[in-house]
Structure 1
């Protein structure tokens, strides 16, 4: 017969409330990411059908070090993460998909060439890269836009 689990009790403590209030959002985010990293490593171990000791052997580490990694509190260096990725054949650090924000500045020069001054315009508009004045049957002005970095 399976034992029924009881619900967790709510516990309140002024000391704990004080401690939690001192944690910055940045620290909380780092802790969350470390926990997620540990969970992903643990999932990789299970996916291979391994135990912690098998990962330790594959990386030539002590099992206690793997236990520390899986605690969610370890601050990894990049070489260790790359080794774990390789051995478990999982992705932990994504570099290829990271978007690169690039700012491009242009200097724009607009020049005007007068073709004819016989008529007056009835409409002007911008076509995306040049300004055009429309005349009654005659295009008398042409604007061009050139740019360089």
Structure 2
């Protein structure tokens, strides 16, 4: 396992459309393991391949809930519903947080590390995290969706709720 370097804005790869994954091999498994280690090291709840310098459709999410770690390869959004507004940050934008409105519910189809297709439904914070990471795979940054940036005092208030 290895912790990778996080690519930070304004690196061009963060705004690039990522290539679909076609080969599901041991190297992909190692990459996913490294992404998980990297996400934990930097205290994230998700990580997309472009954030470690790879323009590939690979993302992981782990919000410490019943789902455990969700590995999404070549994910597609099948359905969204509702609306939620809440704080978001991004490992590629250290120290920057803002309010973002996203769907309350999402249904996706993706592949696992072996190439097997699965569907997943998520709500609330998990839906937010999944949509944030899928955006990364299409070069869409959370800053393009921020309605209002949050200062440190506001963030501390949110953490104590």
TM-score by length of 1: 0.21
Higher relative contact order (CA 8 A, sep 6+): 2
TM-score by length of 2: 0.19
Q: Which protein is bigger by CA-based radius of gyration?
A: 1
Instruction: Pick the structure with more strand per residue.
Output: 2
